[in-house]
Chain A
Amino acid sequence: MLEIATVLLLVAMVLTTLIGVADRFLMGLGMPWPEELARFLLIWTSLLAAAVAAKHRQHFQLAFLYGRLGRLWATAVDLACIAALGVVIWQGIRLAQIFHFQTSPALGLPMSVIYASAPVSALLIAGYIARDVLARWRRGSGGSA
């Protein structure tokens, strides 16, 4: 689901940019919205992709440490990450609320639509980390996860 949504946004990003090029060469309207839409799509795509990467545990980590951490230690690191993401969720919601009535210059979209990306992504990433923590404890003994 999440992957499909992210890929669709990625495709939309390519198409929007191509529309911008086509406009300049074929129609010459100088429409401002493709450029703005492409940037907004980039924010959403990037942050959702970050959640996909978290799902597959693909965020860069010092390789020689990975897998050598004890179970308690790994859990502590994960919980600290979740706490930090909690701040992003909480403040992200605040940000989206404050800017709800401000609209973007070209598209007239409420800025809350764009600012919602950070809390949504942080929530998903926190969810995936929590999944890893639970899986680690359910598996019982064994240091690495």
Chain B
Amino acid sequence: MIVIFALFLALMALGFPVAFAMLVAALFHIVTTTGVDLIIVPQQLQDGLNSFPLLAVPFFILTGSLMAEAGVIHRVASLAQALIGHIRGGLAHTVVLAGTLMAGVSGSGTADAAALGSTMIPALDRAGYDRRFAVALTACAGALGPVIPPSIVLIIYGAMGNVSIGRLFLAGIIPGLLMAVVLMVVSHVLVVRTNFGAPLPRASPRERCRALVHSALDLVLPLGIVGGIRWGVFTPTEAGAIATAYVLLIGTLVYRTLGIEQIMKACHETVIVLGSVMLLIATASLIHYILALYQAADRVAALVTEFSSSSLVFLLLANLLVLILGCVMEVTAVLVLLTPILVPILPQFGIDPVHFGIVLCVNLTIGLITPPVGLAMFVTCSIGQISVEAFTRTVWPFLLALGGLLVVLILVPDLSLWLPHVLMN
């Protein structure tokens, strides 16, 4: 079991793409040690994908890409600006609020960061904000995406760990909003200290109403998704298909910002993202099939209990592991690798898998904006034309604050569990 992990890490370091590192490590292990029929290789690859909950992944990726092409960000950003643009550092807070609203309509942090970055970095630039600050802030605001429902990370966690996706979605709301508050506080402090970011003129009630009406059809979507799943109208997978159809309808018929060209571009992007994510899920199922032969989850549990049986110690250790892996590996790769190992041992420590899912998600989100492999970081750095080094020097107050929030979320499970408990029991 250790061998397979060591081999996987070594292959990755040698330059294999992550999914192939898993495949080759698994093959090597089967041939040299396990001795099961190799026919399980294609079988497990397909079995890992044969899941109705997982269908929500392509749907929400597609919805997110269509949203980005349809220019939802423009409507959402003007709404955010009309609401809070007039306070100090207004445009910076606008970015965070727009990121929060975007997170509610799309499921992917990287896509959100890209959409936010391409519209808000130039706007912040014109308003006299420091460029590095602008890039760091948009990357962080985009990273709210995976925590606030709908969330592709939570769907994969729920599907692979057999956890209710509806509950996970509800549980993500409060932590996601807390993240937004934390980002706003940090940017307020930075704005005051560096003395940029004059407030924008206050929008009149009429302008606010107009902005709200204009983006009303976008804002209905997250409410409909969460509400529909909560009241059992549809499953998360069906919600994804409905969301796709809804975005297509309002984009082509109401707002008329989606043409054939935009739709084709969105489909193309979806297919590429989908291919890399799903291949990871498929190869991870193969790895987990082999690990299950060795009762890996039990062994890990035994190893940890030998050290300490406290749930807090387990949570801290698990998060440390995720944080370290998240720094060198792609978010999805860490997720598909750890979920099936860690979720089965949660009951032994009395940890609610929904709580763990949210903590894991927030933790992985931090990985999105941390060098050297943070995808949201790369996207916004290339949009804002700054180096990763400059980004790292600017982003640390945000990272520190989000890290602090992560610790709070670990210590206070009710922040995640209260909402699903009240609404679903």
Contacts and interface: CB of A to CB of B under 8 A. Distances in A.
Given A42-B58, A84-B27, A118-B45, A14 B20 contact: no
A18 interface: yes
A3 B241 contact: no
Interface stretch (B48-56, B115-123, B201-209): B48-56
A21 B240 CA distance: 11
A46 B238 contact: no
B271 A60 contact: no
Interface stretch (B11-19, B75-83, B169-177, B250-258): B11-19
Contacts of A119: 42
Given A77-B16, A115-B46, A13 B55 contact: yes
B285 to A, nearest CB: 12
A109 B274 CA distance: 25
A118 B276 contact: no
A50 B268 contact: no
Interface stretch (B326-334, B350-358, B400-408): B326-334
B232 to A, nearest CB: 11
B366 interface: no
Contact of B52 (A39, A84, A117): A39
Contact of A7 (B19, B45, B238, B271): B271
* Residue of B16, B51, B62, B270 most packed against chain A (CB within 10 A): B16
Nearest to A51: B275
B133 to A, nearest CB: 24
Interface string B263-287: 0100110111111101111100000
Interface in B289-341: 328-330, 332-333
B16 to A, nearest CB: 6
B372 interface: yes
Contact of A46 (B24, B62, B282, B372): B282
Contact of A81 (B24, B234, B281): B24
B376 interface: no
Contact of B268 (A3, A73, A85, A87): A3
A75 to B, nearest CB: 11
Contact of B54 (A6, A42, A63, A66): A42
A62 interface: yes
B423 interface: no
B275 A50 contact: yes
B275 A46 contact: yes
Nearest to B47: A43
Contacts, number: 179
Interface string A28-39: 000000010011
A32 to B, nearest CB: 12
B182 interface: no
A87 B43 CA distance: 12
B271 A52 contact: yes
B224 to A, nearest CB: 13
Contact of B49 (A7, A43, A115): A43
A141 interface: no
B100 interface: no
Contact of B276 (A60, A63, A85, A94): A60
B4 interface: no
Query: SS class of chain A's interface: helix, strand, loop or mixed?
Result: helix
Contacts of A7: 264, 267-268, 271
A4 B331 CA distance: 28
Contacts of A51: 275
Contacts of B373: 62-64
B58 A50 contact: no
A81 B16 contact: yes
Interface in A34-74: 35, 38-40, 42-43, 45-54, 56, 58-66, 69, 73-74
B41 interface: yes
A80 B105 CA distance: 41
B398 interface: no
B138 interface: no
A43 B46 CA distance: 6
A62 B46 contact: no
B167 to A, nearest CB: 21
Contact of B282 (A47, A52, A80, A92): A47
Given A14-B245, A59-B275, A59-B279, 15 more contacts: A10-B58, A18-B238, A38-B52, A43-B50, A49-B271, A49-B275, A52-B271, A58-B275, A62-B18, A62-B329, A64-B372, A66-B15, A88-B23, A91-B38, A117-B46
Interface of B: 12-20, 23-24, 27, 38-39, 41-43, 45-46, 49-52, 54-55, 58-59, 62, 234, 237-238, 240-242, 244-245, 264, 267-268, 270-276, 278-282, 328-330, 332-333, 372-373, 378
Interface of A: 3, 6-7, 10, 13-14, 17-18, 20-21, 35, 38-40, 42-43, 45-54, 56, 58-66, 69, 73-74, 77, 80-81, 84-85, 87-88, 91-92, 94-95, 98, 114-115, 117-119, 122
